Structure 1
Amino acid sequence: MKHFTKGFLFGVVATASAVAGAVFSFKKKVVQPIEEQEERFEENRKRANRKSHSAHHV
């Protein structure tokens, strides 16, 4: 019974670490590039808005 408990606990830890690795990898490969792209769009929108106001202010 002692070997079963050790094996079971090792399996639980290994599975949890695999799931955590998959989530981290998904975030790095999919979520982060989308967030960076949205930040660039937001910055470009702000810059264009400032430029538009500046051009019409003169």
Structure 2
Amino acid sequence: MKKFTGGLFVGILATLAALFSGLFTFKKTVVDPIEEEEERFDDNRRKAMRKSRSSHQG
């Protein structure tokens, strides 16, 4: 029974480790680039608004 319990415990840990590494990889390859692109668009929008306002000042 000890071998079964130990194997079950190791199997559960290995499964959880694989799940978390998959989620971390997904976040780094899919979610972070999308967030960086949205941030870049927001920065460009802010720069365009400042430029637009300063060009119509005088």
| TM-score normalised by the chain length of structure 1 | 0.99
Query: Is residue 41 from structure 1 mapped to residue 26 from structure 2 by the alignment?
Result: no
| Equivalent position of 2:2 in the other structure | 2
Q: Percent identity, please.
A: 53
Deviation for aligned residue 1:44: 0.1
Question: d(CA) in 2 for partners of 1:57 and 1:2?
Answer: 80
AA aligned to 2:35 is E
State the 4+ residue runs in structure 1 displaced beyond 4 angstroms: none
| Equivalent position of 1:29 in the other structure | 29
Q: What do you get for the CA RMSD once the two structures are aligned?
A: 0.3
| Equivalent position of 2:54 in the other structure | 54
| TM-score normalised by the chain length of structure 2 | 0.99
Number of aligned residue pairs: give it: 58
